[in-house]
Structure 1
């Protein structure tokens, strides 16, 4: 069964997951979630992701949300080496720092711009 990524191309976190999957050579089906229409609030979506956010990954019935968690999961599961997510604790901490920075900074800017 292919990976299914629920998201919106207007969402920077969704695009980050797509780029990670492409870098790893992972094939997935992108299911567009129309946030303006409120598709993230449907009972079906809330069963996968009670936080009603995108992106959300369905890996054969294993549901995961939050772009940083999805990206590290994909790299840990499918990465051929540790070039994207190093095993060295200090290098990995730097990657984690940047993952958290981008999530907080860019998403906050997006919400402020839309408000």
Structure 2
């Protein structure tokens, strides 16, 4: 199973962590985005949208990180622990996955123009992003894990995002329930150490 990735990307890191949790061996194919390898004719044949992570499983190609997480859990989680078959439990997990997608998009809207385009910070964008941290803190009150209070693919996706926010100096001290969850997950989730390494690379990349 091939994974086209960079470790700087939190989306790629979430896939790597879930694969490790499921004991899936990935044939990693590191991409050099600065050399525009994701625009090469070879890669565009695989993924015309030229995004990473991209997974190729015995000829089947899929991209979009959270969709990959669902695919891996549905196909390879024999005990249905990370993505149970119960529709209600899955809905709770999907809710947190989509919440994470929106939260990271708001982070990118605020942070990327500052570091990539050297633009001045926009307080309104930061405020919108921080409302998501406030909601997540509320969701995690009294919870060890993000959905159904059991470890799921949502925790891996959220850990990749939150650790990236932490790495670039987004303060988490105002969100005690979020911080408790974060400290627990970064100590216990499979692949958390490599995720930490990727966060350091993210800082250098930007």
Report what 2:96 is aligned to: 98
- In the alignment, structure 2 segments of 5+ residues that lack a partner are 114-206
Q: Is 1:83 equivalent to 2:81 in the alignment? A: yes
Alignment partners' CA distance in 2, 1:90 and 1:53: 31
Higher share in strand: 1
Higher share in helix: 2
Higher deviation after alignment, 100-109 or 62-71 = 100-109
**Is the CA contact 1:13–1:103 (under 8 Å) kept in the aligned structure 2?**
no
Q: State the aligned residue count.
A: 113
- Residue from 26, 29, 44 that aligns with 1:28: 26
Give the TM-score normalised by the residue count of structure 1: 0.89
- In the alignment, structure 1 segments of 5+ residues that lack a partner are none
Q: 1:111 to 1:63 in 2, by over 3 A?
A: farther
> CA RMSD for the aligned pairs?
1.5
Give the TM-score normalised by the residue count of structure 2: 0.52
Bigger radius of gyration among the two: 2
Post-superposition Cα deviations, 1:58-93, rounded to whole Å, max 9, x if no partner, equal 112111101111111111111111211111111101
Post-superposition Cα deviations, 1:2-48, rounded to whole Å, max 9, x if no partner, equal x1100110101100000110000000111111222221111111111
What's the secondary structure of 1:54's corresponding residue? Answer: coil
Q: Is 1:4 equivalent to 2:16 in the alignment? A: no
**Is the CA contact 1:6–1:54 (under 8 Å) kept in the aligned structure 2?**
yes
What's the secondary structure of 2:70's corresponding residue? Answer: helix
